[in-house]
Structure 1
Amino acid sequence: MSANAPTRWRHLVKDQLTNATQRVERAERYVVDEDGSRAMQEVYPVIVTLATIRVWMDAPPWEEMLPPDEMRRRVQGEFPNLFAALSELDVQQVLTRPWAAVDAQPYVLEARSLLDDVSARARAWMEGK
């Protein structure tokens, strides 16, 4: 993403990162509370959001919109390891199956790591670095 992004895109990225942070924090609490299913319901959308922001940073949509199939392919290509495997499954199966907290925890940790990475990168972009 370039520092000359339109204001609305800057606000969109900031809002999406705020929402992603809130979701990851809730997911972390759900893991502590032994509710892995709810943790997964929180973090899966976060991964999609963060992967989308990564694609936007590499291919700014205000400069040229990617065709939907290409955008979908690139977003899935930005999924981190554990979520990349899940992306091959039906999302409804992933979000509605029972998850033990111990099984969901690695996904929550991976979501936190991606959030930290994308947030730092977006912060640098917003500061024009």
Structure 2
Amino acid sequence: MTSEITIRPIKAADTHALRHQVLWPQESLDYVKLNNDEQGRHYGAFRNGKLVSVISLFVDGHVARFRKFATRPDCQGQGIGSQLLRHTLEEAHTHGAQRIWCDARAINEAFYRAFGLEPEGNRFYRGTIPYIRMAKDL
């Protein structure tokens, strides 16, 4: 039985622990903080009152970018991140964005393709991790 998932805005600081745990556990906590975090809109997915997935959205005119999308490992593959990403795409559109993009870990390309995002440009690396820019019109 799947628990009820609620999605709501959260503060940038509320995203840091989950970003760190999921994305860059080998780095310092400061590594997952963004210089422009305060300009972003941050959303959390909660299950049974616990924060299990986070994403940060930055809208600049008609273009939006989402960053630091992280779901707790024991909650992955259950549709929670998908719900959060759908919510974020809707929010970007609501806030005037006509296009959205992200720098996706290459291993997650198929996940993002399921939401209509397509690769743009060549793979690049952050440390040893391959990434690809993915984007779509809203």
**By the TM > 0.5 criterion, same fold?**
no
| Structure (1 or 2) with the larger CA radius of gyration | 1
Return the structure number with greater helix share: 1
Higher relative contact order (CA 8 A, sep 6+): 1
Question: Whose strand fraction is larger, Structure 1's or Structure 2's?
Answer: 2
